Amino acid sequence: MFTPKYPTPDTAPPPTTSLIPLPTGDAHAPACGCQHSPAIPSAPAPAPVPAARSSVQLTPGSLVVAVAGGTAVVLVVGAVLVSMLLAVAIAGVSVAICAVVLRSLVNHADKGR
């Protein structure tokens, strides 16, 4: 009952060599088999292309939407936290009132003897 039960080993055959044949022969031969003109070795290298800007561009409208959305999130989270705090405070006050009532009942019962 407490011995581990191991799954049966996989019965798939082990992987063999890749299905894509490796190119042989000329290392500069085109992969498509078309007749391309050879590259000119004396040609200068192309100028590097500047990287695209990765920063976010905010328009005035999208900035207003972002500020309004952030404000709404802060208000909703604040309302939830305040309501949770209020619930804890109400529960604490009710427990305190119950403790005072029970204490007075126990004291009153002891004085009656």
pLDDT of 9 > 70? The answer is yes
CA distances from residue 104 to 38, 94, 96, 99, 111 in whole angstroms, order as listed: 103, 15, 12, 9, 11
Over the stretch 23-62, which tens digit does the pLDDT of each residue have? Answer: 565 555 556 666 666 555 565 667 777 766 667 778 889 9
Q: Which pLDDT does position 108 carry in this prediction?
A: 85
- Give per-residue pLDDT as tens, 55-106: 777 888 999 999 999 999 999 999 999 999 999 999 999 999 999 999 999 9
Which pTM was predicted?
A: 0.42
Report, as an integer, the average pLDDT of 1-25.
70
- Say how many residues make up the chain: 113
Domain ranges of the chain: 83-113
Q: Map tokens 């011995």 to a residue.
A: 3
Contact 51, 57 (CB under 8 A): no
Torsion angle defined by CA atoms of residues 95, 100, 101 and 107, in that order, rounded to the nearest 10 degrees? 140
| pLDDT given for residue 82 in this prediction | 98
pLDDT for 8 equals 80
- The label of the residue with tokens 């292309």 reads 49
